Amino acid sequence: MGLGEKESSNWERNQEAIGSLVKKTTKGYSMKILVTGGSGMLGTAVKETIKNHELIPTDIHELDVRKVEDIKTYERKMPDLIIHLAAETDLEKCENNPAHAYMTNHTGTLNMTLMARRLDIPIVYISTAGVFNGEKDSYTEYDTPDPMNHYGMSKWYGEMAVRSYHKHWIFRAGWMMGGGELIDKKFVNLVYAQIKAGKRLIYGLSDIYGSPTYTKDLAMTIENVISAKAEYGVYHSGGMGRASRYDVAKTIVEALGVDVTVTPVKNGFFQKDFFCPRSKSEVLENTKLNAMNLSLMRSWKETVIEYVKKDFKKT
Ligand SMILES: NC(=O)c1ccc[n+]([C@@H]2O[C@H](COP(=O)([O-])OP(=O)(O)OC[C@H]3O[C@@H](n4cnc5c(N)ncnc54)[C@H](OP(=O)(O)O)[C@@H]3O)[C@@H](O)[C@H]2O)c1
């Protein structure tokens, strides 16, 4: 047998082993899972998706990750796993108030990691494609972070806090979308709000790229990785393919079937409102999830269409 053949049959055996583990663990074993930031975009999808386990979802009023007293209260509930989603995700707010960004995204994450360490349980942390500087077209888990704004830096410090304890799964996500009109704080809802307000001409940046990431797919992928008891570490988990903001806006308009023109514009056009520096490329390659056959991330276009049709109305 040639070397290539041997490698390929080992790989296939690994896939079978992972597959059987997923079935075994999802059927018979229920965990108590503490979720921070549970009212946010991804938290909402996690609550809708993870059904085989007992969830303890919390928001900032119940468990503020900066407050040691809150943490002690939830530590007494003895969870088996932490899904730590709480974060300050407003880039402009982080840029204007770095101390707030680092307190929430780094210190808060360190607090949750220390809870996980004391309980000897794994922690899931969601990082971002914004840890990279955008000089490459796309990024794998093997590229070196070099954030270009305070949000990205605070999330990278958060990663380092989580990495200081070995029982971690870190998922780096792209431009998040999910939750509909009431919960989505990001691009899809911003575009929808303009259409709803009656605008018939909207603008989209055509020279910065990312991996639009549907919260539903990400929540399912997180569950898959946990259930498979996959190797701890960092996993890229963006929607597949690459899109500019202009591409996404056009897809939203098409999915809604509205008579709105989308015009491409260059980076800097929205400088007044979106002054935080953003990298040219936040495109993620899900190298490890794909190699381990654990990804449930679909193409960005398919999920933008599904999301818009499901959660937004033609106006
Ligand atoms: N949104 C994206 O494009 C994106 C991309 C990549 C990675 N991520 C990461 O994915 C995770 C989930 O984000 P998301 O998209 O679901 O954002 P989100 O909707 O902003 O959810 C974050 C939640 O955390 C809460 N929170 C803020 N400060 C907190 C604190 N001190 N203690 C407890 N909760 C606090 C927020 O409450 P308030 O709403 O009251 O502030 C919000 O409910 C975050 O770690 C984020 O950094 C997000």
Helices marked H in the chain:
3-28, 41-49, 68-75, 91-96, 98-102, 108-119, 150-163, 187-196, 215-227, 245-256, 287-291, 300-311
Closest ligand 1 atom, residue 108 Cα: 31
Q: Taking 70 as the threshold, does the pLDDT of residue 37 lie above it?
A: yes
Ligand 1 atom having least distance to the Cα of 125: 45
Q: Indicate the top mutation candidate among 35, 42, 172 to test ligand 1's pocket, ranked by most ligand atoms within 8 A of CB.
A: 42
Residues with a CB atom less than 6 Å from ligand 1: 36-37, 39-43, 59-60, 63-66, 85-89, 104, 108, 126, 128, 155, 173, 175-176, 185-186
Residue nearest to atom 39 of ligand 1 (CA): 40
User: How far is ligand 1, taken at its centre, from the CA of residue 187, in Å?
Assistant: 15
SS3 assignment, position 281: strand
Query: What distance in angstroms lies between residue 87's CA and the mean position of ligand 1's atoms?
Result: 4
Residue 175 CA, closest ligand 1 atom number? 3
Residue nearest to atom 7 of ligand 1 (CA): 128
Answering whether pTM is above 0.75, one says yes
Closest alpha carbon to 114 in 155, 55, 152, 71: 71
- The pLDDT of 173-199, averaged and rounded, is 97
Give tens-digit pLDDT for 117-176: 999 999 999 999 999 999 999 999 999 999 999 999 999 999 999 999 999 999 999 999
Atom of ligand 1 lying closest to residue 84 CA: 45
* Cα-to-centroid distance, 263 and ligand 1 (Å): 30
- For residue 214, the CA-to-ligand 1 centroid distance in Å is 15
- Amino acid 14: pLDDT: 41
pLDDT above 70: percentage of residues in the chain:
91
44-84 tens-digit pLDDT: 999 999 999 999 999 999 999 999 999 999 999 999 999 99
Per-residue pLDDT band at 12 (split at 50, 70, 90) = very low
What is the Cα–Cα distance from 71 to 232, expressed in whole angstroms?
24
Ordered structural domains, the chain, with CATH: 31-177+213-241+282-298 (3.40.50.720)
Residue 85 CA: distances (Å) to CA of 109, 196, 261, 306 = 9, 30, 36, 24
